[in-house]
């Protein structure tokens, strides 16, 4: 008797939690910075220490490029080698699906680090069209790093990454894209007081110490 009462209570608690989670809007931190600034490295550290899920737009695009049935494989491959930004219709769908799947698996996973997005105006428009009502952007975590350090880190990574764009030729194009298309997006968020800047040229540990200060303050 008591057992079945307790069972009922726990069943009701579970269903209440489920309903709360349905109204829980995803909380998003956009993670930006030049190629090789350390976005992915720092996101992994954040995931180890905080309740965030890391979604890298670049990783999602590379996975889509490798998916056999994908109609976008060749297009993504060309864009990545050329250091250009893939049309947002493709990227936003990958991000949306990844967010939905994460939340479906675990109600408690509604905090996301979206790494390498929005990288240009097209990305931003795509987010505003598809996601603006579905998620809250808390702030932009900006890893500030000189172009020289970025290039050196990517060339070093290129020795083992197998990436088609970690070579000098692609990197020059990626830096141009970053300066021409991504910096203005960061500046736009800056105007709205939404950018938290970390000096990313230092050691991994020092960078993460600053990241922690930001996250401990802002959740
Ligand atoms: P991003 O995702 O911004 O392109 P990554 O996190 O992949 O950058 O880092 C690029 C390369 O630089 C990797 O090989 C990584 O191990 C290295 N790296 C990352 N952070 C640092 C750091 N603070 N100091 C030195 N090397 C770093
Ligand atoms: O962030 P990452 O260095 O992994 O991105 C690699 C490449 O993926 C970019 O240079 C670009 O070609 C593509 N990309 C994109 N749109 C994004 C993120 C990445 O087209 N929002
Ligand atoms: Mg990365």
Residue 61 alpha carbon, nearest atom of ligand 2:
8
Which residues constitute the domain of residue 144?
Answer: 24-218
Residue numbering of the annotated binding site for CMP = 123
Q: How do residues 26-44 score in pLDDT, each as one tens digit?
A: 999 999 999 999 999 999 9
Ligand with minimal distance to 141 CA: 1
Please tell me the predicted confidence (pLDDT) of residue 93: 98
The answer to whether the beta carbons of residues 83 and 6 sit under 8 Å apart is: no
CATH number of the domain at 181, please: 3.40.50.300
Assess if residue 8 is contained within a domain. Answer: no
Ligand 1 within 6 A of CB of 199: no
Q: Tell me if 142 is assigned to some domain.
A: yes
Q: How far from chain centre, in Å, is Cα 194?
A: 16
Give the DSSP H/E element, type plus range, for residue 113.
strand 111-115
CA of 38 to the centre of ligand 1 (A): 4
Supply 68's token pair. Answer: 């056999």
* SS3 state at 196: strand
What gap in Å lies between CA 98 and CA 104, rounded to an integer? 10
State if residue 116 touches ligand 2 by the CB under 6 angstroms criterion.
yes
Residues lower than pLDDT 70 in the chain: 1-23
Is residue 98 one of the residues assigned to a domain? yes
């Amino acid at each position: 008797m008591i057992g079945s009462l307790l069972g009922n209570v726990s069943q009701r608690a579970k269903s209440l939690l489920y309903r709360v989670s349905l109204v829980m809007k995803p909380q998003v931190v956009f993670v930006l910075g030049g190629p090789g600034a350390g976005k992915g490295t720092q996101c992994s550290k954040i995931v180890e220490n905080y309740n965030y899920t890391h979604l890298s737009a670049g990783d999602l695009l590379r996975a889509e490029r490798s998916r056999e049935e994908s109609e976008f494989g060749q297009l993504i491959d060309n864009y990545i080698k050329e250091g250009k930004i893939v049309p947002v219709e493709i990227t936003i769908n990958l991000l949306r699906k990844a967010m939905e799947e994460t939340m479906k698996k675990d109600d408690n996973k509604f905090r996301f680090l979206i790494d390498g997005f929005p990288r240009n105006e097209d990305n931003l428009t795509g987010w505003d069209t598809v996601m603006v009502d579905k998620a809250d952007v808390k702030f932009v975590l900006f890893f500030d790093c000189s172009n020289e350090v970025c290039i050196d880190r990517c060339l070093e990574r290129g020795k083992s990454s197998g990436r088609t764009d970690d070579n000098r030729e692609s990197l020059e194009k990626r830096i141009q894209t970053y300066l021409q298309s991504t910096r203005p997006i960061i500046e736009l968020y800056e105007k709205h007081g939404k950018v938290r800047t970390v000096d990313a040229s230092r050691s991994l540990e020092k960078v993460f110490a600053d990241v922690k200060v930001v996250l401990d303050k802002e959740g």
